[in-house]
């Protein structure tokens, strides 16, 4: 659809005629100037002069009309779907402890580290959250905000590329990780606030008890979905440092009204992410947002070319 930003400027089109009509002409010389030595016939000079004058006038009018058209701001609207907003703030709190280096998961047919699976599937999950304001917290000995909540899910997803073991230590401070996520959500005015908490270990660092922080999440009306990652769970076998505290993560989810997921393989993690996508839908119907494409450079270019041609013809003309 075509339109002009300021169509009233077209009222300026007759301005040159008004100037010519009401302003006095100065320096106008009456009579014809005869140039000695002219070889043209009796009507040749007059006809050539009339043609040249008509051409100059046409170029001047083309320049003026194109200039006014450019100033009026021609536009064409390109309909585009507006970004669907959900009114939800979502933070992923991801375990970055030393146990995430273990190579006991598979991805695309290759055995990889747990961290690699989390980075790949976590980034895919974040990219699917268009409409949510998404952030990322990493925790180990301590917790740190990797990406503050943002609607730019592509930029947030790319922040996972910088995840390396040792970035925030090598232990597992689940309580501190969840606590930092809650602090980032405390100041938002989102209608819905969610934390996705992933851990592959047992809380053995930090200053906050996970279950106490879970009660705080319930008081703040923040849902916490937990993902217990790893083939072995605490209490299922003899002591093994490579275990995940499934019971604590389930208690956190239960206290806050979220869901708990047990993940032993990459397929399990993908399935858990798919379920969270269903629990926390991202899409909402939004009216199309018009995108205006400005077309003024084209008439402006025509005005410049016509003006240049007018100057050249005046210099070369009779």
pLDDT single digits (tens) 296-317: 899 899 989 988 888 887 766 5
pLDDT confidence tier of residue 77, bands split at 50, 70 and 90: confident
Cα–Cα distance for residue pair 151/88, rounded to 1 Å: 10
Residue 47 has pLDDT above 80, yes or no: no
For 288, the 3-state DSSP assignment is strand
Across 110-124, 140-154, 227-241, least confident range: 227-241
pLDDT value of position 288: 55
Cα–Cα distance for residue pair 172/114, rounded to 1 Å: 15
Q: Are strands 88-95 and 192-199 parallel, antiparallel or unpaired?
A: parallel
The answer to whether the beta carbons of residues 140 and 172 sit under 8 Å apart is yes
Q: Of all helices (H) and strands (E), which one includes residue 248?
A: helix 246-256
What is the value of pTM for the model shown? 0.65
Kindly write down the DSSP assignment for every residue of 6-58, as one continuous string. -GGGGGGTTHHHHHHHHSPP-SPPPSPPPPTT--S-TTHHHHHHHHHHHHHHH
Q: Find the mean pLDDT for residues 88-103.
A: 96
What's the Cα-to-Cα distance from 156 to each of 90, 121, 151, 160, 294, rounded to whole Å?
12, 13, 9, 7, 31
Q: Of all helices (H) and strands (E), which one includes residue 75?
A: strand 74-81
Across 39-53, 120-134, 254-268, 273-287, least confident range: 39-53
Q: Exposure string (b/e) for 13-50, b if CB count within 10 Å is 16 or more?
A: eeeeeeeeeeeeeeeeeeeeeeeeeeeeeeeeeeeeee
Cα–Cα distance for residue pair 187/145, rounded to 1 Å: 15
Partners of residue 233 on adjacent β-strands: 244
Best CA proximity match to 306, nearest among 3, 70, 7: 70
Cα–Cα distance for residue pair 105/152, rounded to 1 Å: 29
The model's pLDDT over 175-217, given as tens digits with 9 standing for 90+, comes to 999 999 999 999 888 889 999 999 999 999 999 999 999 999 9
The model's pLDDT over 229-262, given as tens digits with 9 standing for 90+, comes to 999 998 776 556 689 999 999 999 999 999 999 9
Two tokens at 122? 């976590």
Q: Are strands 74-81 and 143-150 parallel, antiparallel or unpaired?
A: unpaired
pLDDT confidence tier of residue 45, bands split at 50, 70 and 90: low
Average pLDDT across the chain, whole number: 86
Angle (CA) 225-229-255 rounded to 5° is 30
Best CA proximity match to 3, nearest among 292, 297, 303: 292
Angle (CA) 86-275-172 rounded to 5° is 95
Residue 290 has pLDDT above 80, yes or no: no
Cα–Cα distance for residue pair 252/175, rounded to 1 Å: 10
Cα–Cα distance for residue pair 48/58, rounded to 1 Å: 15
The answer to whether the beta carbons of residues 179 and 219 sit under 8 Å apart is no
Cα–Cα distance for residue pair 173/202, rounded to 1 Å: 8
Higher pLDDT, 291 or 231: 231
pLDDT value of position 80: 58
């Amino acid at each position: 659809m075509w339109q002009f930003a300021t169509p009233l400027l077209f009222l300026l089109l007759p301005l040159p005629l008004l100037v010519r009509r009401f302003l006095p002409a100065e320096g106008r010389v009456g009579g014809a100037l005869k140039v000695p030595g002219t070889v043209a016939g009796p009507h040749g000079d007059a006809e050539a002069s009339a043609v040249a004058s008509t051409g100059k006038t046409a170029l001047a009018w083309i320049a003026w009309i194109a200039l006014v058209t450019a100033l009026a701001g021609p536009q064409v609207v390109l309909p585009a779907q507006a970004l669907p907003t959900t009114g939800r703030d979502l933070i992923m709190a991801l375990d970055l402890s030393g146990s995430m280096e273990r190579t006991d998961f598979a991805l695309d047919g290759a055995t990889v580290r747990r961290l690699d699976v989390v980075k790949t599937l976590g980034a895919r999950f974040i990219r699917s959250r268009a409409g949510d304001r998404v952030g990322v917290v990493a925790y180990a000995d301590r917790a740190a905000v990797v990406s503050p909540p943002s609607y730019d899910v592509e930029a947030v997803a790319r922040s996972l590329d910088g995840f390396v073991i040792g970035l925030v230590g090598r232990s597992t401070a689940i309580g501190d990780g969840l606590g930092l996520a809650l602090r980032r959500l405390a100041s938002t005015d989102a209608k819905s606030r969610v934390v996705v908490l992933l851990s592959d270990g047992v809380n053995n660092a930090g200053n906050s008890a996970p279950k106490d922080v879970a009660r705080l999440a319930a008081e703040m009306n923040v849902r916490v979905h937990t993902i217990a990652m790893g083939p072995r769970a605490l209490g299922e076998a003899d002591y093994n440092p490579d275990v995940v505290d499934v019971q604590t993560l389930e208690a956190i989810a239960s206290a806050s009204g979220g869901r708990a997921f047990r993940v032993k393989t990459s397929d399990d993690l993908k399935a858990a992410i798919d379920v969270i996508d269903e629990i926390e839908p991202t899409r909402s119907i939004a009216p199309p947002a018009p995108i205006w494409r400005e077309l003024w450079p084209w008439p402006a270019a025509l005005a410049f070319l016509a003006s240049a041609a007018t100057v050249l013809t005046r210099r070369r003309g009779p």
